[in-house]
Every structure is written in C-alpha cells, then in structure tokens.
Amino acid sequence: MLKNRVLYILEQQKGNIVTGGQLASLLGVSRNAIWKSIHVLRENGNEIVAIPNSGYKLMITNDTLFEKIVQEKLTTTFIGRKIEFFPTIHSTNQYLKEMDNTDIDNGFVVVSDEQTSGRGRRNRKFISCKHEGIYLSILLKLHRVSQDIRLLTICAAVAVSKAIEKICNIKTEIKWVNDIYCDGKKICGILTEAILSAELQELNTVIVGIGINTGNVPLEINNIATSIQEITGIRGIRNQLIAEVLNQFEVIYLDYIEREKKDEIIKYYESRLFIVGRQVLVMGINYNYIATVLGIDKTGALVVKDDIGDIKHITTGEIKLEWGNEK
Ligand code: BTN
C-alpha cells in the first residue's frame, strides 16, 4: 500500500524534511497521490507536518510495524531469519502451537500488531491492543531434550531487559520468573510453552512468547502496568526494539546452549531481581505461604526462607508482592 511506503521513507528520515517531489519520484507516483497518503497517515494517528515550500516531516508516528526495518536491524544468524508479521492474530504463541512444526525452522518468529486472545501465565488474559505493544513468539527446536524451560524464560527475560535498557535508556527490574518491571510496574510478560512431539512424547519444541507494553496502557491495568511511552515519553521504537530483543536473545540463548555461560546469565538476572530481601506470597500448587526471597539458584529456581526458617527452592508456581492487591 502506498501509504505504508510513504511512512516507511518518512520513518527512515524521521526528523528530516522530505519533499513531496522526492517522495513522488522515489515511489513512482504523482505528488497528488503522495498528498492523499499523507492525509490518510495523519488520520491514522501519525503527526506529519507540511512545511510550506519545503516538504513533509514526521514528528510522531503511530509506531507502524515494518518487517523491512526489523530485518535491516537484525544481526542474528537464525533467530528471526524467518519471520512472519500479522496485522492481527488470536495469539502468536497459539499460532505456533497450532502449526505443524516439522517444517518450521529453528528460530522462526511471529510478530503481530495486536492479539485478540493474548495469553499470560496460568491462562490469564494478556491485553494486546493494536499499535500499543510488541507481541511476538520465537520457536526453538531443542537439541537436547533436557534443556530447561525455566532457563529459557530466564534467557528471554535477560534479553528483553538488556534490549529495553539499550534502546530506551531506562533501567529495568525483574520479578521471578517472567515479568519485567519499570518504575514499580510491569512492562513486559513472558510465556514459555513446550510442545511434546507426538511420536516420542518428549519435549523437543519450545515457544517463547514475549509481550512488551510500548504505547498507551489500557485504563483497566494502569495501576499495575506501564509502558515505554509512559516512562520515556517516546513512541515509534517498536521495530528497533523487536530487532534488539531478537539480537540479544540469540546471543544469550547461544551463551546458554553452546557456550556454557549459564552462570553469567543467572548473574545478570539476579542483578535485576528486585524482590531479593522482600517478603512475598509464594503461590504453590497445593498451598500458599509467606517467605523472604534470598535469590535464585543455578537452575533458575527461586530460593526463599519461610517463616520457620526452612530454605526452599521454588521451581513452579508464582509469587505475589502484595497479596490482596494483584501486582
Ligand atoms: C504473562 O505476563 O503472564 C505472560 C504474558 C505473555 C504475553 C505474550 S504476547 C506474545 C505471546 N502470545 C501470547 O498469547 N502470549 C505471549
């Protein structure tokens, strides 16, 4: 569509003036067609100023996703080398789960501009509004069946934390096991799911789903969630951030799988773990109890001390920071 090609050029020249004539000749259309596209782009939420006798300047974007920009910024060898973009989808994780994964490449990535049934842990809903977040899933084919899913979630959390810090220049914090926080509110959730192979009944494919709030945060979750835009005032970084998350994830995943650098990954994770020393509610499968967080062990399990002084290594379930008040 012409409007997307116009926006792509303005995005690349963001902050600079591009003349109507330049756009028309680059795209092989009339100036009038360019003017009409600019009009539609404005209606879609992009702030484009027309400078008299000069040209157009993109001030604020509605943060359109461009596969081409993401691909240009990828430095990976296999993560995201095959990538599929959707304007809308039920859930990127679900989409990969429903595919016949025998023909899918290791590192295949699905990105969507919105999700109508985005899922979080424990089957909770993950609100995924159009243009307002990054919703992506990475499919991994494991070489060894024993590779630990919890550690893959930890790799993803470290990748997202590093990517946000690099691209947005803000400090992130991690809440075990899969939430990234900024300024005391959740900015990203990660859902890692395994697929059992039909014949072998063994775990050989894992889907890592990542949801990052980048734009407006819906009112219903405004007390517990935040976004890149809310913290930095900046919009228009989704393409860059998607690429950086994938770039970081590949390095960290290979550090874990091939380069035996698990300890370094855990060390970074622990450096961002803001719950150390705090009292939390541990929500186990059978019962809940209050405990103090001591850190995480080499397997990524949360180490806590309960109120009778017993040390426990938690591998499943989740924790709450403020009970009676979902956070
Ligand atoms: C959580 O907060 O409990 C995890 C949220 C995970 C959301 C992501 S968005 C992309 C992928 N598709 C989904 O349906 N969920 C994950």
The pLDDT of residue 321 is above 90: no
Residue 163 corresponds to which amino acid? A
The residue to mutate among 121, 132, 191, having the most atoms of ligand 1 within 8 angstroms of its beta carbon, is 191
Residue 122, pLDDT score: 87
10 Å CB burial of residue 212 (0-12, 13-18, 19+) is buried
Residue whose entry in the numeric block shows the structure tokens 């990234």: 180
Mean pLDDT over 27-53 rounds to 90
The pLDDT > 70 percentage for the chain reads: 95
Instruction: Give per-residue pLDDT as tens, 91-119.
Output: 999 999 999 877 889 999 999 999 999 99
Classify burial at 107, counting beta carbons within 10 Å of its beta carbon; exposed 0-12, middle 13-18, buried 19 or more.
Answer: buried
Peptide bond into 70 cis (omega under 30): no
Does any ligand 1 atom lie closer than 6 A to the CB of residue 115? yes
- The CA distances from residue 18 to 29, 49, 228, in Å, are 15, 11, 28
Q: Please report the pLDDT score of residue 35 as a whole number.
A: 93
CA of 185 from ligand 1 middle (Å) equals 16
Q: Is the CB of 226 under 6 A from ligand 1?
A: no
Q: Is the CB of residue 48 less than 8 Å from the CB of residue 41?
A: yes
Choice from 65, 84, 135 to test ligand 1 binding pocket (greatest atom count within 8 A of CB): 135
Distance 155 CA to ligand 1 centre (A): 16
pLDDT of residue 145: 53
Protein residue with least CA distance to atom 15, ligand 1: 119
pLDDT tier, 325 (very low <50, low <70, confident <90, very high otherwise): very low
Lowest mean pLDDT among 82-86, 198-202, 225-229, 287-291: 198-202
> Band of the pLDDT at 39, cuts 50, 70, 90?
very high
Has this prediction a pTM greater than 0.95? no
> How high is the mean pLDDT of the chain?
90
**Given ligand 1 and candidates 111, 115, 212, which is best to mutate, with the most ligand atoms within 8 Å of its CB?**
115
Establish whether residue 119 lines the binding site of ligand 1, counting it when its CB lies within 6 angstroms of any ligand atom. yes
Closest CA to 64 of 242, 247, 226: 242
Q: Which residues contact 270 (CB under 8 A, 6 or more apart)?
A: 276, 295, 296
Q: Would the CB of 112 count as within 6 Å of ligand 1?
A: no
> pLDDT above 90 covers what percent of the chain?
69
Is 60 exceeded by the pLDDT of residue 326?
no
Ligand 1 atom index nearest CA of 121: 3
Torsion of CA 64, 179, 206, 76, to 10 degrees: 50
181 ligand 1 Cβ < 6 A: no
Interatomic CA distance for residues 63 and 43, integer angstroms: 14
